[in-house]
């Protein structure tokens, strides 16, 4: 039986990492053995030996450690028919002690994995020893520092020679985010409801009807929020990620939209939600009916069937998916590949901090193998150092620190231009070591820019001028251009 996190009071804003949790993450390092995806170089090529770093708090006090790794795509936990471990082993050395805020001193342990050919997937875990007791290094990024070893992330991965930027078409794109239920209905049909918590009926035909307008606006990529069947209007609680909610249309409608958009030089990027499903998804329903269900290991049950890991441990209707399960992992990858076959150009990935590098390495590799110019854009709402570790795993990330800076400078006027310029200088230097960043000023998870600016259209125009001239792919939230 798995154990829940030590504290379930996580966040007031979905996907956010509030300051008290950042403090808690640092403080918990005193008691933990952690890896936190610390590898050097961050995106290795075939000419690079790779240094793996782990951190051990003084309370944990390990005596020795090894990196157990494979280079053939198998799990580092696999054994052969005789029970012999099939993985390679690299011994770790205690190289130094460093000071960490709220954790005081932590030991730094390192090992080197020798260079491998491009295309090799290296999967690894880090085993430590405290006397006679074995311990595994966990991933402390996101909210994962809150979980004990048996229900946290202990397997990591990187792919040698993986790309470190999105395809050229995406770097040159102007992206338009459509919250599909509230955008437009086909043939100017009236909304199904005016209740803010119910579906209004925006659909794929409505998006298709808007293509001439979007082309004239200069849009070259449309990001659609989830289109699959779901109980809610936002559809981030899917009951079948391979299908289309009948209110939004049909699979054929999506294929036609992709085809017609392509004829206008516009690509379609779908919102993909691999972190969780709806509690009404058939797999979860089956898993709660029998502990022997073939889907039981897709989820983490603390006390079957009533207590289980869920989104931020606060939304019981959104059970989290455990990608330690081969079945769950294969299902998510197949769902994504189905949409590539239907014409999608890639995915904006919701709540990317919900999984670790082992899953993202396999996911991105599978997508790029199927469609080399497919793009992955991660919603990775974490501290900048943690976001940097997505380099080489996913193509790009939404730049939340930049969005906050733009809103403070031009929206609420908390910052003057000198402060903004200073931020840009430091942010470019530090975040430039990470994945490609995508700029925006508002989206569906925050107040619109015009709202925070007190309705001042002049401020909005200045913010949009910056957004559209800054050397990053811009995302324009539907309606923001109207002012």
Residues 64 and 191 placed together within one structural domain of the fold: no
Residues 275 and 404 placed together within one structural domain of the fold: yes
What average pLDDT does the chain have? Answer: 94
Residues 133 and 229 placed together within one structural domain of the fold: no
120 in a domain, yes or no? yes
Query: 83-87, 238-242, 451-455, 471-475: which range is least confident on average?
Result: 83-87
Residues 307 and 330 placed together within one structural domain of the fold: yes
Which pLDDT tens digit goes with each residue over 55-100?
A: 999 998 899 999 999 999 999 988 666 667 779 999 999 999 999 9
238 in a domain, yes or no? yes
Whether 11 shows a pLDDT value over 60: the answer reads: no
275 in a domain, yes or no? yes
What distance in Å separates the CA atoms of residue 441 and residue 423, rounded to the nearest whole number? Answer: 16
Which pLDDT tens digit goes with each residue over 15-44?
A: 357 788 889 999 999 999 999 999 999 999
Residues 428 and 449 placed together within one structural domain of the fold: yes
Domain that holds residue 76: 19-159
Whether 387 shows a pLDDT value over 70: the answer reads: yes
pLDDT of amino acid 7: 46
Q: How confident is the model at residue 206 (pLDDT cuts 50, 70, 90)?
A: very high
Q: Of the candidates 125, 159, 193, which is a domain's last residue?
A: 159
pLDDT of amino acid 4: 55
Q: Of the candidates 128, 159, 190, which is a domain's last residue?
A: 159
The CATH number of whichever domain residue 180 belongs to comes to: 3.20.20.80
Q: How confident is the model at residue 1 (pLDDT cuts 50, 70, 90)?
A: low
Whether 8 shows a pLDDT value over 50: the answer reads: no
Residues 202 and 154 placed together within one structural domain of the fold: no
The CATH number of whichever domain residue 40 belongs to comes to: 2.60.40.10
278 in a domain, yes or no? yes
Interval 159-169 mean pLDDT: 97
Whether 235 shows a pLDDT value over 90: the answer reads: yes
Q: Of the candidates 106, 127, 159, which is a domain's last residue?
A: 159
Residues 150 and 244 placed together within one structural domain of the fold: no
pLDDT of amino acid 10: 34
pLDDT of amino acid 78: 84
pLDDT of amino acid 287: 99
482 in a domain, yes or no? no
pLDDT of amino acid 222: 99
What distance in Å separates the CA atoms of residue 44 and residue 37, rounded to the nearest whole number? Answer: 13
13 in a domain, yes or no? no
Burial of 196 (0-12, 13-18, 19+ CB in 10 A): exposed
Whether 472 shows a pLDDT value over 90: the answer reads: yes
Residues 51 and 130 placed together within one structural domain of the fold: yes
Query: 129-138, 451-460, 469-478: which range is least confident on average?
Result: 129-138
Structurally, the chain folds into a number of domains equal to 2
Burial of 164 (0-12, 13-18, 19+ CB in 10 A): middle
Which pLDDT tens digit goes with each residue over 260-283?
A: 999 999 999 999 999 999 999 999
Signed CA dihedral, 297, 302, 308, 314: sign only: negative
Residues 90 and 180 placed together within one structural domain of the fold: no
> How many other C-beta atoms are found inside a 10 Å radius of the C-beta of residue 117?
10
Residues involved in catalysis: 350, 379
Residues 125 and 206 placed together within one structural domain of the fold: no
Q: 453 is written with which tokens?
A: 């600016």
What distance in Å separates the CA atoms of residue 90 and residue 125, rounded to the nearest whole number? Answer: 11
93 in a domain, yes or no? yes
Percent of the chain with pLDDT over 90: 88
What distance in Å separates the CA atoms of residue 342 and residue 249, rounded to the nearest whole number? Answer: 14
> How many other C-beta atoms are found inside a 10 Å radius of the C-beta of residue 292?
7
């Amino acid at each position: 039986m798995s154990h829940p996190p030590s504290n379930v009071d996580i966040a007031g804003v979905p996907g956010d990492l509030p300051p008290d949790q950042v403090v808690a993450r640092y403080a918990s390092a005193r008691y933990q053995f952690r890896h936190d995806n610390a590898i050097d170089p961050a995106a290795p090529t075939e000419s690079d030996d790779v240094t793996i770093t782990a951190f051990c708090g003084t309370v944990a006090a390990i005596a020795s450690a090894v990196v157990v790794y494979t280079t053939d795509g198998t799990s580092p936990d696999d054994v052969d028919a005789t029970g012999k471990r099939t993985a390679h082993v690299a011994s770790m050395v205690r190289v130094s002690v460093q000071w960490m805020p709220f954790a005081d001193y932590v030991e730094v342990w390192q090992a080197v994995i020798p260079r491998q050919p491009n295309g090799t997937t290296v999967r690894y875990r880090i085993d430590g020893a405290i006397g006679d007791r074995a311990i595994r290094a966990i991933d402390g990024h996101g909210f994962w520092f809150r979980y004990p070893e048996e229900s946290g992330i202990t397997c990591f991965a990187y792919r040698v020679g993986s790309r470190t930027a999105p395809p050229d078409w995406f770097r040159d794109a102007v992206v338009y985010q459509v919250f599909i239920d509230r955008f437009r209905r086909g043939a100017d049909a009236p909304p199904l409801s005016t209740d803010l918590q119910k579906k209004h009926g925006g659909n794929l035909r409505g998006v298709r009807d808007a293509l001439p307008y979007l082309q004239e606006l200069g849009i070259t990529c449309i990001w659609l929020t989830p289109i699959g069947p779901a109980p809610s209007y936002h559809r981030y609680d899917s009951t079948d990620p391979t299908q289309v909610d009948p209110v939004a249309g049909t699979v054929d409608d999506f294929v036609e939209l992709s085809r017609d958009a392509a004829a206008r030089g516009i690509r379609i990027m779908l919102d993909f939600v691999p972190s969780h499903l709806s509690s009404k998804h058939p797999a979860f329903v089956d898993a709660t009916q029998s502990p022997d269900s073939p889907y039981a290991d897709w989820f983490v049950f603390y006390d079957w069937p009533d207590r289980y890991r869920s989104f931020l441990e606060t939304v019981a209707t959104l059970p989290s998916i455990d990608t330690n399960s081969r079945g769950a992992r294969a299902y998510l990858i197949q769902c994504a590949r189905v949409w590539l076959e239907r014409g999608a150009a890639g995915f904006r990935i919701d709540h990317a901090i919900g999984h670790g590098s082992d899953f993202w390495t396999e996911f991105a590799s599978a997508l790029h193998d199927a469609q080399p110019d497919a793009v992955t854009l991660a919603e990775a709402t974490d501290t900048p150092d943690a976001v940097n570790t997505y380099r080489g795993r996913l193509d790009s990330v939404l730049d939340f620190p930049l969005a906050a800076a733009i809103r403070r400078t031009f929206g609420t006027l908390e910052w003057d231009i000198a402060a903004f310029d200073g931020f840009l200088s430091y942010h470019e230097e530090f975040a430039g070591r990470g994945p490609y960043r995508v700029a925006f000023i508002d989206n569906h998870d925050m107040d619109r820019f015009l709202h925070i600016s007190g309705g001042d259209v002049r401020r909005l125009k200045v913010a949009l001028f910056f957004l559209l001239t800054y050397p990053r792919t811009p995302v324009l939230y539907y309606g923001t251009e109207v002012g």
